[in-house]
Amino acid sequence: MYEGVVQRLIDELGLLPGVGPKSAQRIAFHVLAADPVDVKRLAHVLLEVKEKVRFCRICGNVAAEEECRICRDPRRDPHVICVVEESKDVVAIEKTREFRGRYHVLGGAISPIEGVGPDDLRIRELMTRLADGEVTELILATDPNLEGEATATYLARLLKPMGLKVTRLASGLPVGGDLEYADEVTLGRAFEGRRLLDV
């Protein structure tokens, strides 16, 4: 145990995800040794991020204003929406530069164990966005694990009566990998999702 505020700093840091007691102590002493200007800047950014950043009114992505950069961008295709679990998934997909439509961030996946049901996700907001008929295709890009799959199935069933084109991201072999190193589940999925080779 350290005295007073040092221990409090360690305790607070220890609450962050991925930071154990040892790391918390290391970060705390780094802060103690650091230039006061640097520490002020960090403190300022921490406060600012809580004050200024909000979630996009339309898609639920993190945004600096009421609507996020992507939803405001007129060059993005308004007919396609890609549904993801978290904001960090948006960043991952943006990096591919493959997708030119817009996003919808659910804020998680259905998981009864953690008490997360459809009502806890931004599904109602998604339905509102689809109401005016401008969107024609929905890409379900939830994680390829049980909870992500269940969420995708749930959405697909919910959306079926609307007559939209609903697609699911393919799962299968990693590009640049070797077939022999793929596990059976992935390889099995890749077989299921095989496609015709156009030549």
- Residue among 75, 184, 196, 198 that touches other proteins (CB under 8 A): 184
- Residue among 112, 133, 163, 176 that touches other proteins (CB under 8 A): 112
Please report, in angstroms and rounded to a whole number, the separation of the first and last CA atoms in the chain.
69
3-state SS string for 127-190: HHHHCCCCCCEEEECCCCCHHHHHHHHHHHHHHHHHCCEEEECCCCCCCCCCHHHCCHHHHHHH
- Residue 75 CB, nearest distance to other proteins (Å)? 36
- Residue among 3, 51, 119, 132 that touches other proteins (CB under 8 A): 119
Any contact of residue 118 with other proteins (CB under 8 A)? yes
- d(Cα 6, Cα 22) in Å, to the nearest integer? 14
Phi/psi at 70 (nearest 5 deg)?
-70, -40
* Per-residue b or e along 32-51, where b marks 16 or more CB atoms closer than 10 Å to that residue's CB: eeeeeeeeeeeeeeeeeeee
Closest C-alpha among 89, 58, 52, 88 to residue 76:
58
- d(Cα 166, Cα 146) in Å, to the nearest integer? 19
- Residue among 26, 31, 111, 136 that touches other proteins (CB under 8 A): 111
- Residue 149 CB, nearest distance to other proteins (Å)? 7
- Residue among 82, 110, 140, 166 that touches other proteins (CB under 8 A): 110
Where does this chain touch other proteins (CB under 8 A) — which range of 26-34, 78-86, 169-177, 183-191?
183-191
Any contact of residue 166 with other proteins (CB under 8 A)? no
- Residue among 150, 164, 169, 190 that touches other proteins (CB under 8 A): 150
Where does this chain touch other proteins (CB under 8 A) — which range of 30-38, 43-51, 146-154, 162-170?
146-154
Residue ranges binding other proteins (CB under 8 A) = 110-113, 115, 117-119, 146-147, 149-150, 153-154, 157-158, 183-185
